[in-house]
Structure 1
Amino acid sequence: MARFGGFLYAAILVVLCIFHVDVVRAQITHPTEANALRAIRGSLIDPMNNLKNWNRGDPCTPRWAGIICEKIPSDAYLHVTELQLLKMNLSGTLAPEVGLLSQLKTLDFMWNNLTGSIPKEIGNITTLKLITLNGNQLSGTLPDEIGSLQNLNRLQIDENQISGPIPKSFANLTSMRHLHLNNNSLSGQIPSELSRLPELLHLLVDSNNLSGPLPPKLAETRSLKILQADNNNFSGSSIPAAYNNIPTLLKLSLRNCSLQGVIPDLSGIPQLGYLDLSWNQLTGSIPTNKLASNITTIDLSHNFLNGTIPANFSGLPNLQFLSIEGNRLDGAVPSAIWSNITFTGNRSLVLDFQSNSLDTIPATFEPPKAATVLLFGNPVCDSSNSARAAGLCQPTSVNEAPSGQGPQVSINCAPCPKDKTYEYNPSSPIPCFCAVPLGVGFRLKSPGIADFRSYKEAFEIDSTSELHLQIYQLYIEHYIWEAGPRLNMHLKLFPSNTTLFNMSEVVQLRHLLAGWEVTLSDIFGPYELLNFTLGSYADEFPTVVSSGLSKGALAGILAGTITAAIAMSVVSTIFIMKRRSKRRTVSRRSLLSRFSVKVDGVRFFTFEEMAGATNDFDDSAQVGQGGYGKVYKGNLADGTAVAIKRAHEDSLQGSKEFCTEIELLSRLHHRNLVSLIGYCDEEDEQMLVYEFMPNGTLRDHLSVTSKIPLNFSQRLHIALGASKGILYLHTEADPPIFHRDVKATNILLDSKFVAKVADFGLSRLAPVPDIEGTLPAHISTVVKGTPGYLDPEYFLTHKLTEKSDVYSLGIVLLELLTGMKPIQHGKNIVREVNTAYRSGDISGIIDSRISSCSPECITRFLSLALKCCQDETDARPYMAEIVRELDAIRSLLPEGEDLVSVTSMEIGSSATLTKSTSNSVTTTTGEHFGSFQTSGSGRAHSGIPSGTVAPR
């Protein structure tokens, strides 16, 4: 037996040597690129083991997961041309060695959890056509070096945490067609140099911190179809009249941008189909020039427009949505807007005229059944016409367009087979036909429509034609509008009258979708692939190899098999270790499993990683402490600074608050909400890992011990930022959320004093419509929160509403203005401020450390705070009204103060602060706060009725 064993061992050595030679020959990926991929793998964290074959053999033979290679005529090697790692739950950082992939055309890391910055070395890959890094947690600035990529067609870095300016070097991207930078923290102006991009179709920069005037030179672009810049701060800027000269423009969306001035004539844009200028400060009348006949959406709501509703809104055959809500328009309600519209199928029209000064309904006013006319908040609803207008005068919130789902299969069908993920194809011409579909998460990023129903058939024709499918092979399972507005769809692709796609069809479909080879009609705008679910095809898909590589793949597989057989003992050892690790993982995640928590998008940390980040939780790393436990500043292995909230033993162990915060924050993304990076739940430890906020809590800076107090402009910006964060929770989160613990210690400040709302452990999902479609007004729940901030009506009735957060925010606003705590030395802040306010002398309660500012700003801010703190829920404003009023107060600040510089934010220059020697504050004109007239509301026109929700 021993001799036989020796012989077998010798034989194995011989075979090993033979196959060693073959394996070496089979490694034909360029060595530099193979090493670069290994470096990239080393900087990634792969908790789902999706890159398990990246440590075996050659990258191209057999193909590593997500790697596509091609033969380049100039040398004998295979080169990596595509790196497709869409939604693989990867975290870690993107290694600079990616710049060594010299022939790369596609760099796709969409919908992962990458942190750190975008490597400047990407600028070395001159062959790049697609960079899609959207849906991660990348930070830092955009590298100037990207501007050297003259073959780059698409750059998507949206839904990250990128800051800093848009580089002017991007004007050199002469092949750029799709520039998607939205939902980040970019600042500065939109570079006028972008007008030089000859191929630019879509410029999406919405939901950033951009400022300055809108560049008129964008009118010089040759191809621009979509300009979407909503939710920025172009305060003091107007809409350039030159935009009337962009002949290719299909969509202009500038919602909530603090724009001023008049609406320019836009009749010179022949193809304009979507116009959104809502939630600005536009004045004057609505231009009477004729708009493009194919326009679907006009939203001018929540401005300061006056005059009458012009006749040019009539005769627009494709109009779906017209809103002029919340303005100062007067005169008669127009009666002929629908005159040129053919109402067939699901065709509908929404006309929102709420909260204006319309006083007359024409005698011929007879809207079609498919037209919804809203008149609440106009004098016409209170006049003799009110009987005729009764059905039109109910308060209504038009928050979003209708969502929907596809047709359902008859319940008479027999069950499908169970051996694979068979389903009925509801669109199949063969009744009850079972097949295995592919699931596709698909989102229209900037659609030019407000209602998808009447365009559904056109979308089906478009998409199936591009995917080389029959229309019945596409099933739109459901679609829903999201903040943006963007249209999120879940599609199912079925094989054509067979039960299964063949694998070449699967590969082809994924290539068309992931490579943006599908060209939809302009009305649908740009799209993005959210996921591509293989289902029963998953086991076969990773083994598919490009043609011409089968021999090399076979050699690699054979060599891998021999090596695996010889190394059985090593594998066994690893298997045992993995089993132990798996048992430990199950134990450490048991709490999350118990509460069915979804933790997509957040990273799991081990206790060892947390200990290493904090030097074993050294006291010197501690930056705070609360009822939950201690908070530490830590540094992750990649250098990212984080805040680690560590529960003490008897706080949240086994509680749902820990799980609630993980689940909620993993799907909330807004620049005024603290981002959750990850969590640790093992070794009897619970920790939450957030982005680090170097300027601590708002309470820290209101304390009398604060060395450099905040001036009024800073306090106003903090109030506005926190309000926008809560507004997002109430109106844009899906489903909406009630925070339930808004307070000064839960408002954190980043390096530039941008306010971010934190601590979602007590948050609750807002109520959803019941089976009859009725939306409950409140949630009945056990009272939780912080004394001094608790809504008194919630405390008494246990009924939680969005107005409960409004009350708590009102307390924070009072703290900002007075520096007082909610309850201090037996005194209640609301009672103390109300007493001073009613007396007409507020000098004694204003924080003496506030710098000089306008008396009007102070009184309006104080009036708003007290309205938020009304005992009766209905008397309090909605969050949208609060944001609106704070923005209006900001516009009253002297020029230069409404945009506080980063320098003054960071150092709080005491030279700008004027302290009074008494317990009052003196204005720049010498007026004393005691002379304020406080009997009025002190509130500017907002045009927002009760019940109005935030901009979409």
Structure 2
Amino acid sequence: MLEAHVLLYAAVLVALSPYLLRDSAAHKTTDPSEVNALSAVRSRLIDPTNSLKTWNSGDPCSSNWRGVFCYNTTNDGYLHIQKLQLLKLNLSGSLAPELGLLSHLKILDFMWNNLTGSIPKEIGNITSLHLLLLNGNQLSGFLPEEIGNLSNLNRLQIDENQISGPIPKSFANLRSVKHLHMNNNSLSGQIPPELSVLPVFHLLVDNNNLSGNLPLEFSEMPNLKILQLDNNNFSGTSIPTSYGNISSLLKLSLRNCSLQGSVPDLSRVPQLGYLDLSRNQLNGPIPTNKLSTNITTIILSHNSLNGTIPANFSGLPNLQILSLDNNRLDGSVPSTIWNDMTFVGNKSLTLDFQNNSLANIPNAFNPPANVTVLLYGNPVCTNAQESIIQFCQPQNVEQASESPTNSTRSCPSCPTDRDYERNPNSPMPCSCAVPLGVGFRLKSPGISDFPPYIKAFEIDLTSLLDLFLYQLYIEQYMWESGPRLNMHLKLFPSNTSLFNETEVMRLQGVLAAWEITLSDVFGPYELLNFTLGSYEIPGSSASGLSKGALVGILMGAIAGAIILSATVTVLIVRRNWKYRTISKRSSLSKFSIKIDGVKRFTFEEMATATNNFSDSTQVGQGGYGKVYKGVLADRTLVAIKRAEEGSLQGSKEFCTEIELLSRLHHRNLVSLVGYCDDSDEQMLVYEFLPNGSLRDHLSAKATEPLNFAMRLHIALGSAKGILYLHTEADPPIFHRDIKASNILLDSKFVAKVADFGLSRLAPVPDVEGVLPGYVSTVVKGTPGYLDPEYFLTHKLTDKSDVYSLGVVFLELLTGMKPIVHGKNIVREVTMACQSGKMFEIIDSNMSFYPSECVEKFLSLALKCCREETDSRPSMSEVVRELESIWRMVPDANVYPSEYSEISSNKMSKSSSTSLMIENPFTSSDPSGSDHVDNNIPSATVAPR
């Protein structure tokens, strides 16, 4: 074997040597000052996943350092760095001042990492910079005045950090800037009026601590399309009437800004499509002049507006939401708003007039099926007639978080050797291909309902990316606070199974460099991630041999040694398949993870336990990877969660879960047996729980439905596990992703809470001993289970887990999923209870149950799901109430130790108050998904 290797290498070297020698004389290197700058940058970064391993040797430009892209031609004999793109690599540490030495840089991209410290003022020296992208980190400190020196800057994104202090007046010198995204920080002081001279399209400074007056000068901005200032404190300020003269304005959002005065007349803004002035102290009547026919969204709720609802809201063909709730409007309910609208496809209209003083309703009030009218809290609903009672139920207007659904085909399985998937939009039935994953977010869309615009978005994006329409698949989308629209897209190759390297690099470059501009209605976008999966491309290629030369060299080398190499390859493949050996690394030590009592397994042990990861041993799959049932050498059954190659969030969640589970020990928490951390593999090994997840047993496919006692005991076990996290873990932990698929069941149906990849440590006292009540964090979790207050404020508390568990309780009682076809379980159950139809929504698979226990359990679930954090019970109160209900269950003393012997008949014989009912809400439609976030892993049967 050794002699064969030597002969192979010799043959290749002989074939390559003349080309290598010829090229070395003309080979250029990177400017030494820029090499030194990158070395300084690297020294300030913490790279736990070894993403920058290519930075350890060679020349940055000619050795393909990851994220380093260089100019192909220069005049001084050196190569210069053009782009530094280190998007979402789990980097921490700080930004080095030496970045300012990269004097030829056009793109500086550190988005979606965990960087801390301040923005170096030296970045202001890079006058060639076009894109400065630092959003999604933990940067703090003040904004440097020197940023104003970047006269060529087109886009500044520093949003979703912790930057404080004022917006520098020097930013008025950014005479090329089109996009200023500074939202979700702690900026304070007044917005400099000097910014009005800028050619800005999108000014996003929402969710800060800005104060003072709204600059009158903004009405003079010639290109301003989006002005988004929500959640600041312009106390005592009114909206300048001159804002009605911003002719280019498409979106004006001033929600929750402590504004006073009247609503300005915006009828002279010809393209206005989105208006949100809610949650202020605006008063007076609503202007009666006609608004732009482009408008989709009008939100004036939670003010002190009076008078009647004007007729100018009629004749707006694109209107999706008109929200006037919680004002002082009186008179009659309008019935003409929808008269000029055509409802086709998914188009709908919501009219929210709740909590006003509307006293009259027209005769024969009959809105179309696609129009939702909400009148709760108005005098017209007092002693309301049967014909309008349907409009008098309290509701919260929520944006749907569903993913598109596609018809399924009966097709053979796709190949398993790479990340092949079926393209649901492909014109070729059953075709398999390897897609590219794209995390994509609309930062300030001009719409409130996405389905009517999905086709327009697909046409727009594919034409800009130079793709066919069928190559784009919107896998999932969800509305986030802002509101912003988060999507996970998949790009499929056309008429082939794989993109070529050139096409992968083209698509990545176009999206990461903002070389496309979506239609104005969709507003600005941002790239959240670009997942290569099975694709492998270099970080950059600026110099050295051309592709043609390389192909010729390699073909010559292969031709010279083809027989020998084929022989050696066969031997090596056979040997590796049977005796795979992988060098170990100590990445866990970089995280300082405590792993006492947790075994480290080798890859060979995992492969043996799963019969080389045979499909027959696979029991689940989620965003993190696949889950296998394994048998260890000592015959212990385990569940093995194997991270997919190229998973961007895998390493972080991998380490988070080990760190937490290694020190958590409770009967109602899943136990971590060990882990495998080989050089290219990451696996977590759990106790095997044969009864899968709670979601499995609530689905329409469940063969043996759970009776009430079993459901109640699962609820109690889950609550005890979470109570342990909140009160006994040291430090306490917020789970952040409690859902039915993360509650697993052992052989006796004992509930065990699983999946700690998104968990966060609870806050600890500060230097003065004050204990904060929340953790400020980016919203993650699963739609339908998310605490509404956490969703809006980004403040994670123990009550966020209470809300999610309350949703699980409602699932246990009704069998419904949290969100199906736009219906939210909390809303549906609340409405049923308020209308006296509580028992009509109980899961019909739970044929017999003690009604008093069900009523108390349902009441507790709804308390957990209250919108206001402070009005929810604590987890200890939840456990106490569940124990109280448990004591009321007939023959409770026999549970839960012998669940396998319990039948629903036993419950029916023991309870004189049992009822038998049908559940009209239970759906067997498998298309409803309870998982809508590409950053959130999921599974169905075993720990993920």
TM-score of the superposition, structure 2-length normalised? 0.64
What is aligned with 2:216? 216
Q: In structure 2, the residue corresponding to 1:260 is in which secondary structure?
A: coil
Distance apart, 1:325 and its partner CA: 0.4
Instruction: Identify which of structures 1 and 2 has the higher relative contact order when contacts are C-alpha pairs closer than 8 Å and 6+ apart.
Output: 2
Matches within 5 A, 1:179-578: 179-197=180-198, 199-383=199-383, 386-400=385-399, 402-538=400-536, 541-542=537-538, 545-546=541-542, 550=546, 578=586
AA in 2 matched with 1:28: T
Matches within 5 A, 1:676-691: none
Q: Note if 1:664 corresponds to 2:662.
A: no
AA in 2 matched with 1:587: I
Q: More deviation in 590-599 or 215-224?
A: 590-599
Q: Output the CA distance in 2 between the equivalents of 1:591 and 1:321.
A: 55
Q: In structure 2, the residue corresponding to 1:83 is in which secondary structure?
A: strand
Q: Note if 1:587 corresponds to 2:660.
A: no
Deviations 1:416-441 (A, max 9, x none): 11111111111111111111111111
Structure 1 pair 532–190 and aligned structure 2 pair: CA distance change class (3 A):
same
Distance apart, 1:480 and its partner CA: 1.0
Structure 1 pair 379–56 and aligned structure 2 pair: CA distance change class (3 A):
same
Q: Output the CA distance in 2 between the equivalents of 1:804 and 1:405.
A: 24
Q: In structure 1, the residue corresponding to 2:278 is in which secondary structure?
A: coil
AA in 2 matched with 1:97: E
What is aligned with 2:628? none
Q: Output the CA distance in 1 between the equivalents of 2:216 and 2:760.
A: 49
What is aligned with 2:825? 775
Q: In structure 1, the residue corresponding to 2:98 is in which secondary structure?
A: helix
Structure 1 pair 174–694 and aligned structure 2 pair: CA distance change class (3 A):
farther
Distance apart, 1:479 and its partner CA: 1.2
AA in 2 matched with 1:169: S
Deviations 1:642-691 (A, max 9, x none): xxxxxxxxx9899994697365399xxxxxxxxxxxxxx9xxxx996979
What is aligned with 1:138? 139
What is aligned with 1:905? none
Q: Output the CA distance in 1 between the equivalents of 2:313 and 2:31.
A: 62
* Aligned residue among 764, 783, 786 for 1:736: 786
AA in 1 matched with 2:733: E
Q: Output the CA distance in 1 between the equivalents of 2:368 and 2:800.
A: 48
Q: Output the CA distance in 2 between the equivalents of 1:368 and 1:696.
A: 58
Q: Output the CA distance in 2 between the equivalents of 1:338 and 1:500.
A: 48
Distance apart, 1:381 and its partner CA: 0.9
Q: More deviation in 765-774 or 588-597?
A: 588-597
Q: Output the CA distance in 2 between the equivalents of 1:207 and 1:687.
A: 22
What is aligned with 1:834? none
Whether contact under 8 Å (1:482, 1:488) holds in the other structure is yes
Q: Output the CA distance in 2 between the equivalents of 1:168 and 1:55.
A: 41
Deviations 1:63-120 (A, max 9, x none): 2000000045431100001001111111111111111000000000111111111111
Q: Note if 1:801 corresponds to 2:887.
A: no
Q: In structure 2, the residue corresponding to 1:387 is in which secondary structure?
A: coil
Whether contact under 8 Å (2:726, 2:733) holds in the other structure is no
Structure 1 pair 268–501 and aligned structure 2 pair: CA distance change class (3 A):
same
Q: How many residues align?
A: 669
Q: In structure 2, the residue corresponding to 1:344 is in which secondary structure?
A: coil
Q: Output the CA distance in 2 between the equivalents of 1:653 and 1:661.
A: 5
Whether contact under 8 Å (2:209, 2:233) holds in the other structure is yes
Whether contact under 8 Å (2:61, 2:540) holds in the other structure is no
Q: Output the CA distance in 2 between the equivalents of 1:687 and 1:774.
A: 26
Q: More deviation in 689-698 or 67-76?
A: 689-698
Matches within 5 A, 1:688-837: 693-697=766-770, 735-737=785-787, 765-766=804-805, 767=807, 770-771=816-817, 773=823, 775-776=825-826, 801-802=864-865
Structure 1 pair 804–108 and aligned structure 2 pair: CA distance change class (3 A):
closer
Distance apart, 1:368 and its partner CA: 1.1
Distance apart, 1:523 and its partner CA: 0.2
Structure 1 pair 201–330 and aligned structure 2 pair: CA distance change class (3 A):
same
Whether contact under 8 Å (1:165, 1:187) holds in the other structure is yes
What is aligned with 1:67? 68
What is aligned with 1:928? none
Give the share of equivalent positions with the same residue, in percent.
Answer: 56
AA in 1 matched with 2:804: L
Whether contact under 8 Å (2:436, 2:530) holds in the other structure is yes
Structure 1 pair 204–323 and aligned structure 2 pair: CA distance change class (3 A):
same
Q: Output the CA distance in 1 between the equivalents of 2:410 and 2:780.
A: 42
Structure 1 pair 725–389 and aligned structure 2 pair: CA distance change class (3 A):
farther
AA in 2 matched with 1:237: T
Structure 1 pair 407–759 and aligned structure 2 pair: CA distance change class (3 A):
closer
Q: Output the CA distance in 1 between the equivalents of 2:165 and 2:376.
A: 43
Distance apart, 1:775 and its partner CA: 2.3
What is aligned with 1:816? none
Q: More deviation in 119-128 or 657-666?
A: 657-666
Whether contact under 8 Å (1:236, 1:259) holds in the other structure is yes
Distance apart, 1:220 and its partner CA: 0.8
What is the root-mean-square deviation in Å for CA atoms of aligned residues? Answer: 4.6
Q: Output the CA distance in 1 between the equivalents of 2:869 and 2:395.
A: 21
Structure 1 pair 378–599 and aligned structure 2 pair: CA distance change class (3 A):
farther
Q: Output the CA distance in 1 between the equivalents of 2:255 and 2:726.
A: 44
Deviations 1:698-720 (A, max 9, x none): 79xxxxxxxxxxxxxxxxxxxxx
5+ long unaligned stretches in structure 2: 1-15, 555-581, 601-623, 625-638, 644-648, 660-722, 739-755, 831-855, 875-944
Q: Output the CA distance in 2 between the equivalents of 1:268 and 1:321.
A: 21
Q: In structure 2, the residue corresponding to 1:351 is in which secondary structure?
A: strand
Structure 1 pair 589–154 and aligned structure 2 pair: CA distance change class (3 A):
farther
Whether contact under 8 Å (1:323, 1:351) holds in the other structure is yes
Matches within 5 A, 1:877-896: none
Q: Output the CA distance in 2 between the equivalents of 1:35 and 1:59.
A: 10
Deviations 1:123-162 (A, max 9, x none): 0000000011111111111111000101000000111111
Structure 1 pair 90–221 and aligned structure 2 pair: CA distance change class (3 A):
same
Q: In structure 2, the residue corresponding to 1:536 is in which secondary structure?
A: coil
Distance apart, 1:697 and its partner CA: 1.2
Deviations 1:442-483 (A, max 9, x none): 110000001111111110110000000000111111111111
Whether contact under 8 Å (1:216, 1:240) holds in the other structure is yes
Whether contact under 8 Å (1:54, 1:64) holds in the other structure is yes
What is aligned with 1:102? 103
Whether contact under 8 Å (2:763, 2:771) holds in the other structure is no
Q: In structure 2, the residue corresponding to 1:455 is in which secondary structure?
A: helix
Whether contact under 8 Å (1:235, 1:257) holds in the other structure is yes
Distance apart, 1:394 and its partner CA: 1.0
Q: In structure 1, the residue corresponding to 2:167 is in which secondary structure?
A: coil
Structure 1 pair 804–582 and aligned structure 2 pair: CA distance change class (3 A):
closer
AA in 2 matched with 1:503: E
Q: Output the CA distance in 2 between the equivalents of 1:693 and 1:24.
A: 61
Whether contact under 8 Å (1:302, 1:326) holds in the other structure is yes
AA in 1 matched with 2:255: R
Structure 1 pair 579–318 and aligned structure 2 pair: CA distance change class (3 A):
closer
